[in-house]
């Protein structure tokens, strides 16, 4: 009863279902109010049942279409249709002489959201569609006549001064126009009205399972839910995307929330481990950070734990082989790159190294070599090295006589005479070096 009174006050027509086991015709209940505009009343098999539009151009406002009752309390589902409407759409004949075999496509969208596209093709022979002859005005008249013969359904048209004005019928929500050749015609689609305008709160019924349902497979330019230039839409039935200024930027699904740009952040909805990061990067999801255990954070690179941090310690989780370089103010101090023998140190000398901090050279055969040159990784200026002959330390003293950013040169001396002297074959020289 309250609903009936409210509709009566609003001036909305509706169909009230009959009682059980009675005729299914139903009867009409009409509230106060006047339908504005020409041909503004909506008609069906029960008579005038409401005002679907305020002008003879487009439906506007609220359209209620309750389903009439049927015998024995059987009914079918009913929809509440909110039609925003569409202003007048036009097709202007610019130059009928250029319209040969031209097409105009009219897509009609009815109040249930179903769209039907009709392609009208110009025929100079006066075929099934329309023909461009005599003048722009006559061509517009011919096209309007074609639109009024029922193809497409849902529109009517009038022609004046080479302009075809298209009026959508009561059960048509909107239409879309497309032209093949802009030199023949110019189409202008009417502005669509807002489907729903809410002033105040929009509340769903508190009954369980009430929900808002949006379309699936929208795009970033026309998201289902928009706020100016930003919005949300379902890219698939299992993923929601966030768009900004017409561009998709982020995606959320059952497993993650991630940027769509490679290298930007991605959040995994799962428990992390020492090999699987929960905070990672799009296109590189095996690198990042995770809570690998209670009160423990792991830094992961390439699905391998590199650093582990707890409340009491930070530990490097080093692999069997690794490389480390140490720099101060941009200058290389120490490197994991191995030095190599460039020249000298006798015949077939050898070097054993795991980086520049400390390494050994074993003097080769021959017994005449007094000098040698070692190639180093590039430092800023040079290398400061201390060298000790650990095999005959009482007899020999080896000195660095010159250094560059990429090499050190050595000379062996006698401790008793101070003169240059050859190393003994197989002497082991121990190096300790720092870059500068």
Helices (H), 23-179: 136-147
Q: Domain ends where: 82, 114, 149?
A: 82
Using the predicted structure, report yes or no on whether residue 53 has a pLDDT greater than 90: no
pLDDT digits (tens, 9 = 90+) for 25-37: 333 333 334 444 4
pLDDT digits (tens, 9 = 90+) for 143-192: 998 888 877 887 889 999 999 998 877 667 677 888 777 788 888 877 66
Claim to verify: residue 105 and residue 152 sit in the same structural domain? yes
Claim to verify: residue 162 and residue 247 sit in the same structural domain? no
Q: Domain ends where: 137, 172, 188?
A: 188
User: Which domain, by its residues, includes 282?
Assistant: 261-319
Claim to verify: residue 103 and residue 149 sit in the same structural domain? yes
Claim to verify: residue 114 and residue 130 sit in the same structural domain? yes
Q: Say what the pLDDT of residue 351 is.
A: 96
Q: Say what the pLDDT of residue 125 is.
A: 54
Claim to verify: residue 309 and residue 278 sit in the same structural domain? yes
Rama region for 283: left / alpha / beta (φ>0; ψ in -120 to 50; rest): left
Q: Say what the pLDDT of residue 385 is.
A: 95
Enter the pTM of the model.
0.41
Beta bridge partners of 308: 298, 315
- Dig out the tokens for 214 from the structure: 């949006």
- Dig out the tokens for 135 from the structure: 């003048």
Number of domains in the chain: 5
User: Does the residue 134 lie in any domain?
Assistant: yes
Residue 216 pLDDT grade (very low, low, confident, very high; cuts 50, 70, 90): low
Q: Mind giving me the DSSP string for 331-385?
A: EEEEESSPPEEEEESSBS-EEEESSSSEEEEE--BSS---EEEEE----SS-EEE
Claim to verify: residue 95 and residue 160 sit in the same structural domain? yes
Rama region for 69: left / alpha / beta (φ>0; ψ in -120 to 50; rest): beta
Using the predicted structure, report yes or no on whether residue 323 has a pLDDT greater than 60: no
Q: Mind giving me the DSSP string for 260-302?
A: SSTTSEEEESS---SSS-SEEETTEEEEEEEEEETTEEEEEET
Claim to verify: residue 19 and residue 99 sit in the same structural domain? no
Mean of the per-residue pLDDT values for the chain? 76
The arithmetic mean of pLDDT across residues 64-80, rounded, is 46
């Amino acid at each position: 009863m309250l609903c009936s009174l409210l509709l009566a006050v609003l001036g909305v027509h509706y169909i009230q279902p009959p009682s059980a086991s009675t005729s299914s015709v139903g009867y009409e209940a009409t509230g106060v109010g006047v339908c504005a505009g020409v041909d503004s009343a909506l008609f069906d098999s029960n008579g005038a049942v409401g005002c679907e539009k305020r002008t003879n151009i487009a439906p506007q406002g609220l359209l209620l279409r309750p389903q009439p009752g049927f015998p024995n309390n059987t009914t079918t589902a009913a929809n509440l249709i909110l039609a925003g409407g569409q202003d007048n759409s036009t097709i202007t004949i610019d130059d009928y002489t250029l319209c040969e075999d031209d097409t105009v496509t009219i897509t009609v969208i009815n109040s249930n959201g179903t769209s039907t596209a009709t392609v009208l093709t110009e025929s100079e022979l006066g075929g099934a569609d329309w023909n461009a002859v005599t003048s722009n005005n006559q061509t517009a008249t011919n096209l309007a006549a074609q639109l009024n013969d029922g193809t497409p359904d849902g529109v009517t048209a009038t022609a004046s001064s080479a302009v075809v004005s298209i009026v959508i019928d009561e059960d048509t929500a909107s239409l879309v126009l497309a032209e093949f050749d802009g030199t023949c015609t110019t189409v202008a689609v009417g502005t669509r009205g807002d489907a729903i305008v809410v002033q105040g709160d929009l509340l769903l019924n508190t009954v369980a399972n009430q929900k808002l349902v949006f379309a699936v497979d929208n795009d970033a330019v026309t998201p289902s839910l928009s706020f100016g230039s930003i919005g949300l839409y379902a890219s698939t039935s299992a993923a929601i995307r966030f768009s900004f200024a017409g561009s998709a930027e982020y995606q959320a699904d059952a497993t993650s929330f991630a940027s769509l740009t490679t290298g930007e952040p991605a959040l995994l909805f799962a428990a992390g481990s020492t090999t699987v990061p929960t905070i990672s990067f799009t296109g590189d999801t095996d690198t990042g950070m995770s809570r690998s255990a209670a009160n423990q954070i792991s830094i992961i690179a390439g699905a391998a734990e590199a650093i582990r941090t707890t409340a009491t310690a930070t530990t490097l989780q080093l692999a069997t082989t690794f490389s480390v370089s140490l720099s101060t103010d941009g200058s290389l101090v120490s490197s994991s790159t191995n030095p190599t023998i460039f020249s000298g140190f006798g015949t077939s000398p050898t070097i054993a190294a795991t980086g520049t901090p400390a390494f050994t050279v074993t003097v080769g055969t021959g017994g005449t070599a007094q000098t040698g040159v070692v190639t180093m990784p590039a430092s800023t200026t040079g290398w400061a090295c201390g060298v000790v002959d650990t095999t005959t330390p009482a007899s020999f003293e080896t000195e660095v006589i010159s250094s560059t950013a990429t090499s050190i040169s050595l000379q062996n001396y006698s401790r008793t005479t101070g003169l240059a002297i050859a190393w003994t074959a197989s002497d082991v020289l121990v190096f300790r070096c720092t870059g500068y």
